[in-house]
Amino acid sequence: MRISGGQVFDLRQGFVQRDVCTDGPLLAETSGDSVLLDASGCYVIPGLVDVHFHGCVGEDFSDATPDGLQKIADFELSQGVTYICPAGMTLPEDQLTAICKNTAAHRAKNPGGAEVVGVHLEGPFLCMSKKGAQNGDYLHNPDIPMLRRLQEAAQGCVKLVTLAPEQPGAMEFIKAAGEMGIAVSVGHTAADYDTAKAAFEAGANHVTHTYNGMPGLHHREPSVIGAAYEVPGVLPELICDGVHIHGSVVRLTFGLFGGERMILISDSLRATGMPDGEYPFGGQMIELHGNRATILGHPETLAGSVTSLMGCLRQAVSFGIPLADAVRACTFNPARSIGIDGRTGSLDTGKEASIVLLDEKDLSVKAIIFKGQKV
């Protein structure tokens, strides 16, 4: 396939006018067939990578059902999100084990939809005071043997784990996770600057939904955000749904960390793509009103978003983030954060041919190609 006439995303130059060619499932210098796709009036970008979301279309990753995970993967691909690393919740170990086994079985079957590239364990190794919508009954101190058991159940699919670094044994846990090939994200934490800095220096390289579930950036107490800024390899997430983070703070954070470090996530719930109402979430109930989801009976506690990652990309651009920075934050940076940037995240020759065409006028999806096949 040859995709011609569009403005093509380039990691180094932003957007350039050139053709994009596929040869089977991979990007190539030239095309091995005669199929031509006219991308005039479109931006040509890599398929998106979401490393932090919980569900959509009435399904939740934590339910650990094969049909539910398939529906999630199908919906995400329809939105131009081609690689997903869904997040579990703070749950008992037996349910976390079921989540991991379900993911491994799904990957072995390879049934289509967005590729499930891993598991994000957003809990249970969190802080009670910053648990947010997580269920406090199942919080657990950092536990290396438990992480090993979950990684074994997942057949190596656990790629990311969120941790409150002030919890006992956290620094040893960070090092052990790295040895297992698992990236550690600091989040749902009350850690001060020194503790967060120590965690990043020990190997944590990610921040879970920056600003949410942690102390704010204060001029005398810079906490997690200040520490993350000072360690160049740390990649902060932002939920850019127009609810969790004010547009001014989105602009400020991109300006502070730079587009080469930011990760946009959806943090979407099973209520995504569903009507207003009440829905289960991590052993609790949430209520959805418009684009705002909160814990039932606690309207001040946000429970996650109901916006897809593609919607978050558009929201970031509407806030004034340059399109190239927003695209990078939804593609290459999240892929790099979980170690899959060698095969996706940019449109470089040799990578998988997962491509989305966006209308130049409104960024609506005009075409999706997944591993060389038009969806």
Alpha carbons 109 and 290: distance in angstroms, whole number: 36
140 φ, ψ (degrees, to nearest 5): -145, 135
Q: How confident is the model over 251-290, as pLDDT tens digits? A: 999 999 999 999 999 999 999 999 999 998 867 788 999 8
Averaged pLDDT for residues 58-79: 97
From residue 248, how far is each of 230, 254, 275 by CA, in Å? Answer: 21, 10, 29
Residue 237: pLDDT band (50, 70, 90) is very high
Entry field: residues in the chain: 375
- pLDDT for the residue 321: 98
- pLDDT for the residue 95: 97
- pLDDT for the residue 349: 96
pTM of the model as a whole: 0.96
Alpha carbons 149 and 340: distance in angstroms, whole number: 23
Q: What's at 351, amino acid-wise?
A: K
22 φ, ψ (degrees, to nearest 5): -120, 145
- pLDDT for the residue 298: 87
> How would you classify residue 12: left for phi > 0, otherwise alpha for psi between -120 and 50, otherwise beta?
alpha
Residue 253 near residue 224 (C-beta atoms within 8 A): no
Alpha carbons 236 and 263: distance in angstroms, whole number: 6
Please name every residue paired with 237 in a beta bridge, in sequence order, or none if there are none: 263
Alpha carbons 345 and 329: distance in angstroms, whole number: 10
Q: Is 194 a catalytic residue?
A: no
Please name every residue paired with 358 in a beta bridge, in sequence order, or none if there are none: 43, 365
Averaged pLDDT for residues 199-214: 97
Helix-then-strand count for the chain, H and E: 10, 26
Alpha carbons 59 and 71: distance in angstroms, whole number: 7
Catalytic, out of 60, 267, 325, 341:
267
In a 3-state reduction of DSSP, which class is residue 263?
strand
233 membership: H or E segment, kind and range = none
Full DSSP string of 281-349:
ETTEEEEEETTEEEETTEEEEEEEB---HHHHHHHHHHTT--HHHHHHHHTHHHHHHTT-TTTSSS--T
Omega of the bond leading into 215 within 30 degrees of 0 (cis)? no
Nearest to 3 by CA among 15, 344, 28: 28
Q: How confident is the model over 24-51, as pLDDT tens digits? A: 999 999 887 888 999 999 999 999 999 9
247 φ, ψ (degrees, to nearest 5): -55, -35
Q: What's at 265, amino acid-wise?
A: I
Q: Which long-range contacts (CB under 8 A, 24 or more apart) does 11-19 make?
A: 11/328, 11/332, 11/346, 11/348, 14/322, 14/324, 15/43, 15/323, 15/324
Residue 299: pLDDT band (50, 70, 90) is confident
Exposure class string for 289-326: b at 16+ Cβ within 10 A, else e: eeebbbbeeeeeebbbbbbbbbbbbbbbbebebebbbb
Alpha carbons 170 and 163: distance in angstroms, whole number: 8
Q: How confident is the model over 181-193, as pLDDT tens digits? A: 999 999 999 999 9
Could you tell me the end-to-end alpha-carbon distance of the chain, in angstroms, rounded to an integer? 13
- pLDDT for the residue 170: 98
